[in-house]
Each structure stands twice: as structure tokens, then as C-alpha cells.
Amino acid sequence: MRYKRLLFLIPGYKGSHYEYAGLPTGVGYVSEALGSAGIEQSIVDMRLGYGYKDLKKRINLFKPDLVGVSMMSFRYKDHYALLDRIKKDFGNIDIAVGGPHLSTFREKALEECRSIDYGVTLEGEDTIIELCKGEKDPDRIKGLMFRRGDGIAYSGDREFITDLDGKDFPRYEHFETDKYPHYRSLVTSRGCPHNCIFCPVQLTIGKRLRMRSPESILEEIDHWYGKGIRVFNVVDDNFTFYKKRIMDICEGVRKRGYKDLTFSCRNGVRADTVDREMLEAMKEIGFNYLAFGVESGSDKMLKIIKKGEGLAAIERAVREACDLGYMVTLFFIMGLPYETEEDVEKSLALAMKYPVFDVRFYNPIPFPGTELHDWVEENGYFNDKSRDFLNSFSHWISDPVFETPELPMEKRKALYKDINKKIKKHTFKTKLSFAKNMEKMFNDLGLPGHLSKVLARLYYTSFFQRFVIDSGLASRLRKFLKLKRRSRAA
């Protein structure tokens, strides 16, 4: 065996939503595969607050012969520096890097960071196992980049995995699960057949959509239900692509008689893949939070960005989800090619038309390899200070990476500020409505009126949504309230 002991390293991502430390599903899948292959492993997730001293201590204790790093492109120069530090202190340990950054940058990553010995592209389960086992020379391992003399060799892309049911879902046996939020993320598909000009997903998981079967997904829910987990977040964007699959999953959950499950789709689903029957079935088994990637309230803009769906489908889905009592979040992008102030106003009008729980307007990030990036580059629209945007960007702040003739920088910033002010006021009304229902529940428990009001308002703050609902406390609270109401009725 070429490598017997692998230490997984997950870098930190301060300053972005990547820093919030949910269990990493990608590393989870690779970890599960390595365990089945008999390769010893340890995991250091620096998003949990670990510093370099902690990492160095773990390396000295575990004594790996390979460090595997899962890397996003955000702040990649900081992560290159981290790898250089590891290589300096542990020159006898090889470093393999995978994740979205390697799949996007390919040979350039190894050229820019001499401390990387191997690059693993696309889906990494089979590639990393073949590398560790050592039964094949590197140039016969598909999906592997490696150094040959002064150059970099690549054996070519590995075929995408088509039988997702054949890959064990993550059980996170080597993770410090007590340090993560108390929910589990479900990855039910890989690949995306759509053509949105801003999305880099196709570079990392491919265009061909591959689905796990309902039986496979139910097996994963069974596993975690048996361990006390009641909160699940579906993280793939194409969960609702096939209606029959969703209906079969919902029927399987009903037949199993699970109690107090909560499901959400926080990453977003496409509006044109849901209908009322599907939404009703999902609501019945515990789905209560849906996000939709709307992107724009202008049909003109939806065509320009090749979204592949129109406003009519989007409005229908949002309206029906709100009618059914879902907490609905809408994602918009502001500052896309040829977008005018009038188009932005249409987005704002759509955002405020329905009683949605939350609305988020993002800056467009032109990731390398996307059509958006090529368009910005060819037109010279990058700001001089944003040339190194992958090491400093944020979706959240009013500091665009590029500007367009239709929406110059200062106009973009002013619009962003105005929109967020109006959105906060609009969504507050919806959250207040949810909170009043919760306040009534607290009153039913006999709590003082002022305390009920405070607790109900707290229940629907962003802080509570991120840290308390994810911990499973919300699910247990709802269960407690149900039992109290039943006992009072009896």
C-alpha cells in the first residue's frame, strides 16, 4: 500500500458563509470509502476553531503519510500558505488536494503551490483509494494530477459515478460530531443539467444529473433516526427534479411512522420542478423551509442568464409554498450582464409580493470557468481592486467585484443598501406573523405574557434559525408544545 494513514484537513473560511461548520458531506463520502478500503484516517476541521498548533499536534500524534485537503477557492492563497507551512514542518508527508478549487483550477493549482504533490479532480472517492492502495502507477489513475520532473502530469478525467446507491452515505465515524450543529445534510443527487451562466457547479460535479433512489435516501434517514437525529437539510439543488422520486420518498417516510422529523431545502430548489401536490406531500412529512433560486424578477434577465425557467413558474411555486405555510426564502442576484435599474426594481417587487420568510440579494461572483467570468473578463468590467477577488470577495456586502455600464459601482451600492432596508421591513412582517403563533403556544403553556412575547420574537431571529433550529432544539420544543396541548385537551 502506497499510503496507509491519511489525515483529512478542512481549512477555515473566515469572512464567508463557508465558515459555518456543518458536517462536510464531500469529505464524509470520501472518508466512508477510505474506511471500507481499510485505510486509517483522522480528520482536522479547522472551521471548528482549530489553529495551526492544533493541526501540528494532531499530525505528530497520528503520524500520517498523506494529508488530504478539501479546498474551496475562497481565500485559496491563505490555504496555499497553510500547505507550505505543513510541507516545511513535515517534509516527509505528501499532500493531496481535492474539492472545487482543484476541479476548477486544475494544473494551475499545482503550479502556484509547490507544496501540493497530488491534485484530485471531480469526484474523489475512487481516485484517492487507488492512490493510497498503490496498485496502479499514478499515470494510470484517472482523475489524478501529479508531479513528473519539473512538470505536471494528468491522467485525464475519471468517469462520473452513475450508481450513487453503490456508494455508502457518510456516517462520520471519524468526525467530532458533537462539535457540529445537530442536524444531518442529505445529498440525494449529483450533477446539474442546467446552463446558468454564473454557476461553477458543472465544473466540479458535471452536467449529467445522477440520482440516489428513494430506498437509499430512506436508509440514510433510518440510520440517523436511530441515533436520535430528527433534523435534516437537503443540500443538492436538484432534489425536486423528479416528482415520482419525491412522492416515493414521502410515502416511505409516512409508512415508517417517524415522529417529529424536520426537513429543509436551504440551498434552494428550482421553482419549475415543484407543484402543489408535491409541496403538500413534503409538508406532511416535515418539510417546513424552502429556498428558491429566483435570481431575477425580470423575464428578460432570466433568459440572459440562461436560467431555463420563467417568472410564471417561479411565482406559482412561491405562492403555493407560502399558502401551505412554508418558511420561504428567495435568492436574487443583482448586477448581472445587461441588468438595468428597472430590472432590479422588478426583482424587488417580486421579493415583496408574497409573505416570504426571508429574501437575500447577492453580488454575482464570476467564478473562473463560468460564462459569466469570461463575459466580465472580455469586456474589461473587473474593478482594479477586485482582480484578486477570490481571496477577498463576499456575497453579502455592497462591494461588487465588477461593474457594468447599466449599473455602475456607486449605483449598485446605493441600490443594494436601499433594497436591504426595504426587504428587512417586509420580511419582519412575515416573521412577526410566525412569532405571534408561537407566542400563543407559549401562552398556552401558562408563561407570562411578556416572556411569551420575548421568546416568540427570539424564535424567529436569524441567530435562532442558524444555531438553535440546526441544533435540534426547535424540533424538541415543537414536540414538547404538542404534548402539552394534548394533555390540556385531555
Nearest to 362 by CA among 17, 13, 11, 78: 17
What's the pLDDT score for residue 95? 98
Q: Is the same domain home to 232 and 325?
A: yes
* Assigned domain for 43 exists: yes
In terms of domains, do 58 and 131 share one? yes
Spatial CA neighbour of 301 closest among 227, 435, 223, 404: 404
Q: In what order do the strands lie in the sheet with 327-333?
A: 184-186, 231-234, 262-269, 287-295, 327-333, 358-362
Q: Which of 426, 453, 481 is the last residue of a domain?
A: 426
More confident residue, 388 or 116: 116
Residue 460 has pLDDT above 60, yes or no: no
What pLDDT is recorded for position 278?
Answer: 98
pLDDT above 70 coverage of the chain, percent: 84
pLDDT at 446 over 70: no
Q: Dihedral sign for Cα 218, 223, 224, 226, please.
A: positive
The pLDDT score that the predictor gives to residue 7 is 98
**Residue 127: pLDDT above 80?**
yes
Q: Show the beta-strand stretches assigned E in 285-393.
A: 287-295, 327-333, 358-362
Give the residue with greater pLDDT, 187 vs 473. 187
Residue 444: pLDDT band (50, 70, 90) is low
Residues 319 and 461 in one domain: no
pLDDT at residue 462 is higher than 90: no
Statement to judge: residues 446 and 383 lie in one domain: no
Final residue before a domain boundary, out of 426, 457, 477: 426
For residue 170, being part of any structural domain is answered with: no
Residue 75 has pLDDT above 80, yes or no: yes
Domain count, the chain: 3
Q: What is the pTM of this model?
A: 0.88
**Looking at residue 315, what is its pLDDT?**
98
Q: Find the radius of gyration of the CA atoms of the chain.
A: 24
Higher pLDDT, 488 or 139: 139
Side-chain-side CA neighbours of residue 127 (13 Å):
28
CA dihedral 336, 341, 344, 345 (to 10 degrees): -170
- Confidence check: pLDDT of 69 > 60: yes
Closest CA to 352 of 291, 423, 302: 423
pLDDT band at residue 211 using 50, 70 and 90 as cut-offs: very high
* Same domain assignment for residues 388 and 267: yes
Instruction: Give the pLDDT of residue 472.
Output: 52
Instruction: Check if the beta carbon of residue 482 is closer than 8 Å to that of residue 286.
Output: no
How far, in Å, CA of 251 to CA of 280, rounded? 12
The answer to whether residue 165 is domain-embedded is no
Q: Mean pLDDT over all residues of the chain? A: 88
Q: Are residues 233 and 361 in the same domain?
A: yes
Do residues 418 and 40 lie in contact, with contact meaning Cβ atoms separated by under 8 Å? no
Cα-to-chain-centroid distance, residue 467 = 16
Whether residues 98 and 76 share a domain: the answer is yes
Is the per-residue pLDDT at 437 higher than 70?
A: no
- The confidence score (pLDDT) of residue 221 equals 98
Q: How high is the pLDDT of residue 401? A: 87
Report the 10 Å Cβ neighbour count for 182. Answer: 18
Residues 416, 439: Cα–Cα separation, whole Å? 33
> What is the rounded CA–CA span in Å between residue 272 and residue 274?
6
In a domain, residue 447? The reply is yes
My answer on whether 276 and 328 are in the same domain is: yes
Q: Residue 36's Cα: distance from chain center in Å?
A: 26
Contact 291, 269 (CB under 8 A): yes
Instruction: Report the pLDDT value the prediction gives residue 51, as an integer from 0 to 100.
Output: 94
Model pLDDT for residues 214-239, shown as the tens digit of each residue: 999 999 999 999 999 999 999 998 99
The answer, yes or no, to whether residue 423 has pLDDT greater than 60, is yes
Return the CATH number at 35.
Answer: 3.40.50.280
CATH code at 219?
3.80.30.20
* Spatial distance between the Cα atoms of 406 and 409, rounded to a whole number of angstroms: 10
Residues 6+ apart with CB under 8 A from 446: none
129-146, pLDDT tens digit by residue?
999 999 999 999 999 999
- Number of other CB atoms surrounding residue 257 within 10 Å: 6
d(CA 310, CA 315): 9
Same-domain pairing of 88 and 66: yes
Same domain, yes or no: 125 and 76: yes
Q: Please, which residues have CB within 8 angstroms of residue 257's CB and are 6 or more apart in sequence?
A: none
Name which residue leads in pLDDT, 413 or 113: 113
Least confident of 64-78, 95-109, 343-357, 468-482: 468-482
For the residues 466-477, what does the mean pLDDT come to? 53
CB 5 within 8 A of CB 63: yes
- % of the chain at pLDDT higher than 90: 72
In angstroms, the CA 121 to CA 155 distance is 11
| Number of helices (H), then strands (E), in the chain | 18, 15
pLDDT bin (cut points 50, 70, 90) of residue 396 is low
Q: Are residues 383 and 441 in the same domain?
A: no
- Taking only the tens place, the pLDDT of each residue in 293-310 is 999 999 999 999 999 999
How far apart, in Å, do the first and last CA atoms of the chain sit? Answer: 66
The answer to whether residue 378 scores a pLDDT higher than 70 is yes
Per-residue confidence band for 490, with pLDDT thresholds at 50, 70 and 90: low
Structural domain that includes position 351:
181-426
Q: Does residue 251 or residue 468 have the better pLDDT?
A: 251
- Look at 384 and 82; give whichever has higher pLDDT: 82
DSSP 147: E
Looking at the structure, tell me whether residues 262 and 408 fall in a common domain: yes
Q: What distance in Å separates the CA atoms of residue 129 and residue 34, rounded to the nearest whole number?
A: 6
> Could you give the angle at the alpha carbon of 84 between the alpha carbons of 80 and 90, nearest 5°?
140
Written as one string, the DSSP assignment of 386-399 is GTTGGGT--SSSS-
The residue among 136, 154, 172 that closes a domain is 154
Type of residue found at 449: G
The 10s digit of each residue's pLDDT in 159-171 is: 999 999 999 999 9
